[in-house]
Amino acid sequence: MTVMTLAGAINAGLRAALAADPKTLLMGEDIGALGGVYRVTDGLQAEFGPRRVVDTPLAESGILGTAVGLGYRGYRPVVEIQFDGFIYPAFDQIVSQVSRTHARTRGAVTLPITIRVPFGGGIGSAEHHSESPEAYFAHTPGLRVISPSTPQDAFTMIQQAIACPDPVLFFEPKRRYHVKGEVDVERPLADAAPMGGAHVVVAGSDVTLLAYGPLVATATDAATAARAEGISIEVIDLRSLAPLDLDTLAASVQKTGRLVVTHEAPGFGGLGAEIVASLTERCFDYLEHAPVRVTGFGVPYPPAKLERHYLPDLDRILDGVDRALGRLGAAAAPTVPARGAEVAQ
């Protein structure tokens, strides 16, 4: 076991992947000598050379488009998008090319492309540096979307993403880059939990609380705070956003009968909507209360001085838990009628 930051664990995972397969290469802006603006690729160009760790011209569509061509040639490109907000120029190549080439060629061409995206807010940054665009990709057939929340998962899952023959969006919770944790760097990848599975982080019985990436820690804190009030929250880290590990999630909801989902992205059409819809389909008869979403608002990510009002935090998550428990959260009164309430039509 080694203690690493989450960023350091990704770095170690990338190093292991580069060492394991000469066809693996990293591409992106400023990932070479600088080691990326978050230093996630620090030292890798020095170690593997500029043909394995490639500084590209400043053009995201160009990066993804050339990655597609490299994939055709048998390479395994790992692309860094410098910040979440800069992935959109590559949207066409991701949605129309990366995601579809395997289906288009009836399986003849695999594109094992990993797209690393530092995502999410809470870092006091400028416009376009704090986005949570995961729902766009989760809705896109042909892609897999995952997000680690701990150094151990960061280390393991980046390697699993790279090893996966399908294209994978790897969303890195950038405000947790400096969080430290123990990482078992020796365990063979084959022994690790599959990247598609959710993890129960805190076991509980009253409410199921689902989170991923940066909010797993917040959700865990919420569970701790709630325990003091006698509420037992089961916190699950999704880890895989697409596909969802519905078996694990449904088992929890069938146990607790109550569901809260939280993410930073705007609620409308966000991943929470899919989770609520599919778990309602699966667990309708077990639900004691309408599932609750605690998310960012339907606004462009705000300036730094306002982001703490935008981001779901401990209080807002606990408010959501209250609502799921039928204890009228302040925000919920008008839109969610209390269970059994008579509402005139």
Ligand X SMILES: Cc1ncc(C[n+]2csc(CCOP(=O)(O)OP(=O)(O)O)c2C)c(N)n1
From residue 260, alpha-carbon distances to 136, 163, 321, 337 in Å are 21, 33, 6, 17
Instruction: State yes or no: residue 106 binds a copy of itself (CB under 8 A).
Output: no
Largest CA distance in the chain: 70
CA distance 325 to 315: 15
Q: Of the listed pieces 81-89, 190-198, 219-227, 307-315, which binds ligand X according to CB under 6 A?
A: 81-89
261-300 positions binding a copy of itself, by CB under 8 A: 265-266, 268-274, 276-278, 280-282, 284-287, 289-293, 297-300
Which of 338, 225, 312 has its CA nearest to residue 260? 312
CB of 181 to a copy of itself, least distance (A): 30
Per partner kind, with CB cut-offs from 5 to 8 A, the member of another protein, ligand X, a copy of itself, none near residue 232 is none
Judge contact between 162 and 114, C-beta under 8 A: yes
Q: By CB under 8 A, is residue 208 in contact with a copy of itself? A: no
264 binds ligand X (CB under 6 A): no
Piece of the chain touching another protein by CB under 8 A; list 119-127, 183-191, 198-206, 223-231: 119-127
Give the closest residue to 214 by CA, choosing from 154, 282, 277: 154
Number of Cβ within a 10 Å radius of residue 297 = 13
Confirm or reject binding of residue 91 to ligand X (CB under 6 A).
no
Write out the DSSP string of 270-318.
SHHHHHHHHHHHHHGGG-SS--EEEEE-SSPPPPGGGHHHHS--HHHHH
Of the pair 100, 255, the CB lying nearest another protein is at: 100
Partner from a copy of itself, another protein, ligand X, none contacting 20, C-beta within 5 to 8 A by type = none
| C-beta closer to another protein: residue 1 or 124 | 124
| Minimum distance of ligand X from residue 63's CB (angstroms) | 10
Given candidates 56, 132, 149, 150, which one binds another protein under the rule CB under 8 A? Answer: 56
Stretch 12-41: interaction string toward another protein, x if CB under 8 A:
-------------x---xx-xxxx-xx---
d(CA 324, CA 326): 5
Work out how close the CB of 333 gets to another protein at its nearest, in angstroms, rounded to a whole number: 7
Return the SS3 of 77: strand
Measured from the CB of residue 186, what is the shortest distance to another protein in angstroms? 25
Exposed e or buried b per residue across 193-229, where buried means at least 16 C-beta atoms within 10 angstroms of its C-beta = eebeebbebbebebbbbbbbbbbbbbbbbbbebbeee
CA distance 40 to 215: 21
Tell me which residues in 214-243 interact with a copy of itself (CB under 8 A): 242-243
CB 26 within 8 A of CB 53: yes
For residues 129 and 336, give the distance between their C-alpha atoms in angstroms, rounded to a whole number. 34
DSSP-H helix ranges across 21-76? 44-48, 60-72
Interface positions with a copy of itself (CB under 8 A):
61, 85, 88-89, 91-92, 95-96, 99-100, 103-104, 127-128, 135-136, 138-139, 141-142, 242-243, 251, 254-255, 265-266, 268-274, 276-278, 280-282, 284-287, 289-293, 297-300, 335-337, 339-341, 343, 345
Interface positions with ligand X (CB under 6 A):
29, 58, 60, 82, 86, 89
